Amino acid sequence: MSQVLWFRRDLRIEDNAILSNAKGKVLPIFIFDKNILKSLSKDDMRVSFIYKSVLGLKEKLKNIGLDLAIFFDEPVNVFKKLVEKGFDEVLCSVDFDSYAKTRDEKIEEIIPMRRFLDSFILNPNDHLKKDGTPYKVFTPFYNSLKLITSSNNIEELKRNETLQKSIFDYDFIPSLKQMNFEEQELPDFLELEAYELLKQFKEKINDYKVQRDYIYVNATSNISVHLRFGLISPKQVFNYFKSFNDENSEFFIREIFWREFYNYILVHYPYSEHSNFNNIELSWNENEDDFNKWCEGKTGIPIIDAAMIHLNKTGTMHNRLRMIVASFLTKNLFIDWKKGEKYFASKLLDYEASSNIGGWQWGASTGADASPYFRIFNPYLQSKKFDKDAIFIKSVLPQLKDLDAKLFHIENGASSNLFVDYPKSMVDISLSRKQAIEKFKRAKNEH
Ligand SMILES: Cc1cc2nc3c(=O)[nH]c(=O)nc-3n(C[C@H](O)[C@H](O)[C@H](O)COP(=O)(O)OP(=O)(O)OC[C@H]3O[C@@H](n4cnc5c(N)ncnc54)[C@H](O)[C@@H]3O)c2cc1C
């Protein structure tokens, strides 16, 4: 029996299910999947990050006597060749994404696959309400997990130390250029290892509950990208903070379970990837110019524009800003959340289908446990509250740096200054809010 260990979104050697369950001679592999890469732009930052992480994984595997064979191909082609070479089983972690599910079905026609769950703490299929149906609301879902959340440690998987490296050509490493990508400069926090990030965050965790909403403060963990690509497991994050045994850690751990919750929802309700979770029907605004202004940060509303320009430049966006721009797109512009979701998917370094869909459906008031449709963020009040001195806004829109911060928190405040080049608001905030509430009310009544 020669096993292939297919690393996908679990680019680590600790608490790794495939390194724990494998036996004997193994071939660890990573595939730069042409099917995925062909749809990405040359300057996609995620590819630079994954590339760096895959090379890092190769080094770590070498340090424990193994290695990593790297391919640039379609997975089907890779496995056809590996079967010819005598490999007869694939071990990998479960990937719940819809592309991954169809891809795996095709691979299973070529070679048997054994999948393990280690990208999430909870297996969604193992946890239902007493009546046998899945949870739909976060708080009862979270409370029902007390057995897990009240424990001080969730057992991590130990690596099988007797594994041996299969004989193979491990030398091939495609360059980013060969794969048609350009190396991108990454935000500083992505230069750090996952545990270094957690250690830094530990110093700030006492302020997390209060500070995490302030857009200009770096008060959160920044761990989402590492979690997304499995450079650390959610179990390891849980155990690290549990070891401090304090209230602030508990609050942070609860946030980690939002990620579990949205994955749980998507697994149980896969239709919510493409449709409103609550099944209401809305006739959205199809105007492409409106949508493009939002994407490019040309709405005339400083907090929205700063958030979108920052996303386009860095691939990152603060959680509070994600909520504000999602509310603005779906309620004030009345544009379908799916368009916003798709745009985020193309830009976010931490893009994770389940969290992104969950976050968007929450913002659009169409999702599981969503915000009520009549509670619509006013972007001016949000910036007044969470970026009072316009520190974040001015850092992204330097042409406005000399304006009085108060102007950013009133409609058309910034554009009223004739000495700066800044557009008027593309939409009347209170009128569009009223119209959205009417549309939602009608859709709910018709439902
Ligand atoms: C419209 C919208 C889209 C989003 N898209 C994504 C996405 O594609 N990928 C993604 O990882 N998160 C997404 N989120 C959730 C959240 O914004 C990010 O997880 C968070 O900003 C990442 O920064 P952090 O690691 O510093 O967070 P912290 O505040 O330090 O939280 C720690 C971890 O908890 C989890 N978490 C916290 N809040 C949430 C949440 N609301 N939903 C799900 N998980 C959460 C994340 O894994 C996060 O890394 C989205 C939220 C919204 C409103």
229 assigned binding-site residue:
no
Superfamily for domain range 3-119: HUPs (3.40.50.620)
Q: Report how far residue 54's alpha carbon sits from residue 132's, in angstroms, rounded to the nearest whole number.
A: 41
User: CB–CB of 285/377 below 8 Å?
Assistant: no
Q: Which residue CA neighbors atom 22 of ligand 1 most closely?
A: 224
- Residue 93's nearest CA partner among 315, 263, 243, 347 is 263
Q: Which atom of ligand 1 is nearest to the CA of 317?
A: 21
What is the share, in percent, of the chain residues with pLDDT greater than 70?
A: 100
User: CB–CB of 209/246 below 8 Å?
Assistant: no
> What are φ and ψ of residue 5, in 5° steps?
-105, 105
Question: 388 or 97: whose pLDDT is higher?
Answer: 388
Expressed in angstroms and rounded, the spacing between residue 318 Cα and the centre of ligand 1 is 8
Question: 18 or 97: whose pLDDT is higher?
Answer: 18
Q: Which of 97, 142, 206, 224 to mutate to test the pocket of ligand 1 (most atoms within 8 A of CB)?
A: 224
Residue ranges of the chain assigned to CATH 1.10.579.10 = 288-446
Expressed in angstroms and rounded, the spacing between residue 355 Cα and the centre of ligand 1 is 7
- Residue 1 predicted with pLDDT over 80: no
Residues in Cβ contact with 367 at an 8 Å cutoff, skipping those fewer than 6 apart: 265, 272, 276, 277, 278, 357, 358, 360, 361
Q: Residue 159: its pLDDT value, please? A: 97
Q: Indicate the pLDDT class of residue 199, thresholds 50, 70 and 90.
A: very high
User: CB–CB of 241/252 below 8 Å?
Assistant: yes
Q: Report how far residue 189's alpha carbon sits from residue 211's, in angstroms, rounded to the nearest whole number.
A: 19
258 assigned binding-site residue:
yes
What is the share, in percent, of the chain residues with pLDDT greater than 90?
A: 93
Give the pLDDT mean for 317-335: 98
Q: Which residue CA neighbors atom 2 of ligand 1 most closely?
A: 359
Q: Residue 445: its pLDDT value, please? A: 81
- Output the CATH code of domain 288-446: 1.10.579.10
- Residue 228 predicted with pLDDT over 90: yes
- Residue 236's nearest CA partner among 17, 1, 6 is 17
Expressed in angstroms and rounded, the spacing between residue 220 Cα and the centre of ligand 1 is 10
- Residue 19's nearest CA partner among 3, 2, 33, 5 is 5
222-231, 298-307, 367-376: least confidently modelled range:
367-376
Q: Indicate the pLDDT class of residue 439, thresholds 50, 70 and 90.
A: very high
Helix/strand/coil for 218: coil
- Residue 150 predicted with pLDDT over 90: yes
Report the CATH architecture of 120-155+195-268: Alpha Horseshoe (1.25)
Q: Which residue CA neighbors atom 47 of ligand 1 most closely?
A: 224
221 assigned binding-site residue:
yes
- Residue 372 predicted with pLDDT over 80: yes
Residue ranges of the chain assigned to CATH 1.25.40.80 = 120-155+195-268
- Residue 371 predicted with pLDDT over 90: no
Q: Which residue CA neighbors atom 34 of ligand 1 most closely?
A: 256
Distance of CA 61 to the CA centre of its chain: 26
25, β-bridge pairs: 164
> What does each C-alpha distance from 180 to 41, 171, 177 come to in angstroms?
9, 20, 5
Helix/strand/coil for 30: strand
Residue ranges of the chain assigned to CATH 3.40.50.620 = 3-119
- Residue 186 predicted with pLDDT over 80: yes
Question: 297 or 375: whose pLDDT is higher?
Answer: 297
Q: Residue 447: its pLDDT value, please? A: 74
Q: Residue 247: its pLDDT value, please? A: 86
Say what the alpha-carbon torsion angle 222, 312, 372, 378 is, to the nearest 10 degrees.
Answer: 110
Give the pLDDT mean for 314-337: 98
Q: Residues 237-282: pLDDT tens digits?
A: 999 999 988 888 999 999 999 999 999 999 999 999 999 999 999 9
Q: Residues 129-149: pLDDT tens digits?
A: 999 999 999 999 999 999 999
Q: Residue 304: its pLDDT value, please? A: 98
- Residue 418 predicted with pLDDT over 90: no
Q: Indicate the pLDDT class of residue 369, thresholds 50, 70 and 90.
A: confident
Q: Which residue CA neighbors atom 12 of ligand 1 most closely?
A: 355
Q: Residue 387: its pLDDT value, please? A: 98
Say what the alpha-carbon torsion angle 278, 284, 288, 294 is, to the nearest 10 degrees.
Answer: -60
> What does each C-alpha distance from 41 to 175, 177, 346, 353, 387 come to in angstroms?
16, 13, 9, 19, 32
Q: Indicate the pLDDT class of residue 370, thresholds 50, 70 and 90.
A: confident
Residue type for position 318: H
Q: Residues 20-34: pLDDT tens digits?
A: 999 999 999 999 999
Give the pLDDT mean for 146-169: 96
Ligand 1 binding pocket includes 326 (Cβ within 6 Å) = yes
